[in-house]
Amino acid sequence: MSSGGGGAAPVLSVRDIAVDYAGPRTVHAVRGVSFDLGRSEVLGIAGESGCGKSTLAYAIARLLRPPARMTAGSVVFHDTDGTAIDVTALSGEALRTFRWRRVAMVFQGAMNALNPVLSVRAQLGDVLRAHLPDLTRREREDRCRELLDLVGIEARWMSGYPHELSGGMRQRVMIAMAMALRPDVVILDEPTTALDVVVQREILEEIDRLRSVFGFAVIFITHDLSLLLEISDRLIIMYGGLIVEQGRATEIQAGAHHPYTLGMLGSIPTLRGDRRVLHGIPGTPPDLADPPSGCPFTPRCRYAFGACGAAVPPLLDVGTLTACAQYDPALRPDGPDDALGSASASVPAGSAADSPVEPAS
């Protein structure tokens, strides 16, 4: 699916996004996340459950609901004519018009995202009625057929209900809904979760085909790093609500630097080549209602030293953008720990290529 879009002009600029969940103990789910999304680029966001990746997606699309609240940051959409739209400042009709026309989202778990008591026709029609109210009933019907045809579903399923469709078909309906208004950006929140590997590949190929036709950019969110290495132009690795590593997918596969990324890569099994011992990441994710001081990965990191608990490290350019005190020349003038350097240089090269999901193109 990769298109080399990392150098393209940005379609979306995210700056210092912070999201909290209010409650007896406020959860700081996303903490100062920034990145640019290139036009037609595929940006993968990976991390284990609870790292903040889905919350970040909802914040970008302005779909957060209480008790979630964006407490800081901005999202700016760049139109092809040079116009910049501050998405975080939109409200009311302006926000409703922007959403799905510019940024659309395919939600995790299509069975839960689709209304179980409404037919596919009714749910696609609702999108068109809300955003294209001037369409006649016949025009809406024709557009619904066209959308289903785009994602490879026969028109006869327009009268079907979600429970009558397979998991892959339900996910295709969600993609059709996202495509209804030809958006510039599509956010995919774990779209292949709970699907078998054959259906996963079909869905990925469908997304890639549609992207080649319409040219939209993709933010693909999943915990499956091996999958993202196959399909992404660039990768963001999140941990504890923060970005800990960012770079081109090829750079991260060839030479990741952050201990968390190295741990994720080291836990991916290969189907070919020499046998190797898989190493999981010990411990548990941090409590974001009471995050540890400094780097959130410190309690689980075998390379942690005194400075790691003092302050959240900035992203440093060490081949990839990496938030690790080991690479800070002010703290480690002689360079990172030898063991970390050796681990970074020996990332298993075959992990992604041996993934059961083959590249879509």
pLDDT of residue 345: 72
Per-residue pLDDT tens over the stretch 20-30:
999 999 999 99
> Residue 144: pLDDT above 70?
yes
> Residue 65: pLDDT above 80?
yes
Say if residues 42 and 207 touch (Cβ distance below 8 Å): no
pLDDT of residue 353: 38
Average pLDDT over the chain, rounded to whole?
89
Among the residue ranges 132-141, 260-269, 313-322, the one predicted with the least confidence is 260-269
Q: Does residue 143 lie within any of the structural domains?
A: yes
Q: Does residue 92 lie within any of the structural domains?
A: no
> Residue 60: pLDDT above 80?
yes
pLDDT of residue 199: 84
For 6, the 3-state DSSP assignment is helix
pLDDT of residue 228: 93
Say if residues 186 and 220 touch (Cβ distance below 8 Å): no
Which CA distances in Å does 307 have to 33, 50, 205, 324?
Answer: 22, 25, 45, 10
- Amino acid (1-letter code) at residue 223: H
Per-residue pLDDT tens over the stretch 158-215:
999 999 999 889 989 999 999 999 999 999 998 887 778 888 888 888 899 999 999 9
High-pLDDT (> 70) share of the chain, %? 92
> Residue 233: pLDDT above 90?
yes
Q: Report how far residue 147's alpha carbon sits from residue 180's, in angstroms, rounded to the nearest whole number.
A: 7
pLDDT of residue 319: 94
Boundary of a domain, candidates 148, 175, 202? 175
Q: Does residue 260 lie within any of the structural domains?
A: yes
Q: Does residue 222 lie within any of the structural domains?
A: no
Q: pLDDT class for 111, splitting at 50, 70, 90? A: low
Say if residues 350 and 268 touch (Cβ distance below 8 Å): no
- Cβ neighbours, 10 Å, residue 33: 24
> Residue 119: pLDDT above 60?
yes
Q: Does residue 288 lie within any of the structural domains?
A: yes
Q: Would you give the distance in Å from CA 255 to the centre of its chain?
A: 21
The set of long-range contacts for 336-342, using a CB threshold of 8 Å and a minimum separation of 24, is: 336/303, 337/303, 337/305, 339/302, 339/303, 340/259, 340/262, 340/303
Token pair in block for residue 14: 């995210």
> Residue 358: pLDDT above 80?
no
Phi (first) and psi of residue 327, to 5 degrees: -100, 5
pLDDT of residue 304: 95
Q: Report how far residue 12's alpha carbon sits from residue 38's, in angstroms, rounded to the nearest whole number.
A: 7
Q: Report how far residue 98's alpha carbon sits from residue 358's, in angstroms, rounded to the nearest whole number.
A: 34
Token pair in block for residue 320: 């990839």
pLDDT (mean) for 53-76? 96
Q: Report how far residue 23's alpha carbon sits from residue 342's, in angstroms, rounded to the nearest whole number.
A: 43
Domain containing 316: what range?
256-345
Per-residue pLDDT tens over the stretch 66-76:
999 999 999 99
> Residue 42: pLDDT above 70?
yes
Q: Does residue 86 lie within any of the structural domains?
A: no
pLDDT of residue 346: 66
* Torsion angle of C-alpha atoms 343, 268, 227, 45, degrees rounded to 10: -50
Which CA distances in Å does 105 have to 34, 62, 128, 190, 288?
Answer: 19, 11, 16, 11, 25
Q: Would you give the distance in Å from CA 111 to the centre of its chain?
A: 20
Say if residues 332 and 322 touch (Cβ distance below 8 Å): no
pLDDT (mean) for 227-239? 95
Which CA distances in Å does 149 have to 62, 118, 152, 167?
Answer: 29, 20, 5, 17
pLDDT (mean) for 97-115? 86
Per-residue pLDDT tens over the stretch 248-276:
999 999 999 999 999 999 888 777 767 77
- Cβ neighbours, 10 Å, residue 89: 11
> Residue 112: pLDDT above 80?
no
Q: Does residue 250 lie within any of the structural domains?
A: no
Domains: count for the chain: 2
Q: Does residue 285 lie within any of the structural domains?
A: yes
pTM of the model: 0.90
pLDDT (mean) for 299-311? 94
